[in-house]
Structure 1
Amino acid sequence: MIELKNINKYYRSEEETLHVLKDINLFADAGEMIAVMGPSGSGKSTLINTLGFIDTKFDGEYLFEGENLVTSSDDRLSKVRNEIVGFVFQNFSLIENNTVYENVELPLLYSGLGFHQTKERVMTALEKVGLADKAEKHPKQLSGGQQQRVAIARALINQPKFLIADEPTGALDTHTSQEIMELFQELNRNEGATIFMVTHDPEVVPYCTRLVSIRDGAIIEDKAVVSE
């Protein structure tokens, strides 16, 4: 599904050149749940921005289902991001003034659907994350775990080819983190969702099928995670 071939990324200023990603080769099949792990400054955020078509300035080749989409126009890339990738962030990134329903609906409206076409899909997504009864609530009326579930429903709404979850449990307590990771695992196992889980937390890794460790811009480990 995804092939990164000899990816190198540099940040250049007048004073210096920073080599942020170093000869990254990464292959991912549909249905994998991959933990991308590394300390702050390791390059994992840059790697994820590359995977999510956010950062397209790099050396090397990124093939998605055999096609190089990075050479596309900005308009096409925006469409690709909206349709192919679902993003879940540590701070939920919900719109406070919108209801849960409206937050989840938003990507559908961006992709051109009318209000009358969205209801069934929004409610199905909310049911998947166990929040069908919270559709008319606002984010501030929900717990942190519930807000993250809304963010996951929003990420799923366009039926993306893969999800990128960037430290999705970073703002949650231990019990809630466990619930959210079980939800991701369920989506992976039952729905076949392909998930990249960016984390620095070793407790997240056992929920995944594979671990990719990155340090100083290079992949230092890539191995299957054995379920206990």
Structure 2
Amino acid sequence: MIRLKHINKYYKVDEENLHVLKDVNLHIKKGEFVAIMGPSGSGKSTLINLIGFIDQKFEGSYLFEGGSLLGSDDNKLSAIRNQSVGFVFQNFSLIENNTVYENVELPLLYDGYDFGRTHEQVNNILGKVGLSDKLDKHPKQLSGGQQQRVAIARAMVNEPKFIIADEPTGALDSVTSNEIMNLFRELNQQESVTIILVTHNPEMVDYCSRLIEIKDGKIIQDRELVK
């Protein structure tokens, strides 16, 4: 589904070019649960921004489902990003003034749905993450784990091709972290949702089927995890 070939990424700082990603070659198949690990400054964030169609300024080629998106304008990339990628962040990134239902509904509205068509889809996905009874609550009325479940529901509601989860348990205690990771694993195994997990925590890697380690802008390890 995702194939990166000889990716190099530079940032210009004053008069210096910083080489952030160095000849990265990577493929991710549909249905995989991949962990990306590396220390701060290793290039993890740059890599997932590129995979998630946020950053298009790089050298090399990115093939998504066999096609190249190089040269696509911002409108096309925004449409593809909204339809193909779900994002889950450490800080949940929910809209505080919106209800749980409204937060989850938002990607569908961006995708052109009218309000009458969203009801079944939103209710269905909130049921899958165990929040059917929280539709009218606001984020501040929920626990951290419940807020992250809302974020996962929002990421999944328009049935994206893959989910990028960037340190999704970083703000949660260990018990809640395991609950969230079990939910990700369930979505991956039962519904074949492709998940790319970015984490610093080796314990979270145990839930994944593959580990990619990055250091100083290079992939230093890429291996299947034995279960």
5+ residue gaps, structure 2, are: none
CA contact (8 A) 1:86 1:155 kept: yes
Q: How many residues align?
A: 227
Residue 109 of structure 2 corresponds to residue 117 of structure 1: no
Aligned to 1:47: 47
Distance in 2 (alpha carbons) for counterparts of 1:108 and 1:225: 35
Instruction: Find the counterpart in structure 1 of residue 192 from structure 2.
Output: 192
Is the contact between residue 161 and residue 194 of structure 1 (CA under 8 Å) also seen in structure 2? yes
TM-score, normalised by the number of residues in structure 2: 0.99
Contact 1:53 1:70 in 2 (8 A): no
Report 1:98-177 matches (<5 A).
98-177=98-177
Partners of 2:71 and 2:81 in 1: CA distance: 14
2:91 and 2:183 mapped to 1: Cα distance? 18
The secondary structure found in structure 2 opposite 1:42 is coil
- Matched with 2:10 is 10
> Which residue in the other structure is 1:215 paired with?
215
Query: Which residue identity does 2:144 align to in structure 1?
Result: G
Q: Deviations over 1:21-40 (max 9, x none)?
A: 00000011000000000011
Q: Please list, as runs of the form range in 1=range in 2, the aligned pairs for 1:61-100 lying within 5 A after superposition.
A: 61-100=61-100
Alpha-carbon separation, structure 1, partners of 2:16 and 2:72:
30
Contact 1:104 1:150 survives alignment (8 Å): yes
Q: Please, what TM-score do these two structures have when normalized by structure 1?
A: 0.99
Superposed CA RMSD: 0.6
Runs of 4+ in 1 over 6 A off after TM superposition: none
Q: Which residue of 2 aligns with 1:204?
A: 204
Instruction: Write the distance in 2 (CA, Å) between the matches of 1:83 and 1:2.
Output: 15
SS of structure 1 residue aligned to 2:93: coil
Deviations 1:163-195 (A, max 9, x none): 000000000000000000000000000000000
Letter in 2 for 1:135: L
Q: Secondary structure at the match of 1:207?
A: coil
Deviation of residue 69 (structure 1)? 1.6
AA matched with 1:147 = Q
Amino acid at match of 2:134: K
The equivalent residue for 1:30 is 30
| Structure-2 separation of matches of 1:38 and 1:13 | 23
**Deviation string for 1:182-220 (max 9, x for gaps)?**
000000000000000000100011100000000000000
Structure 1, unaligned stretches of length 5 or more?
none
- Larger displacement relative to structure 2 (66-75 or 195-204): 66-75
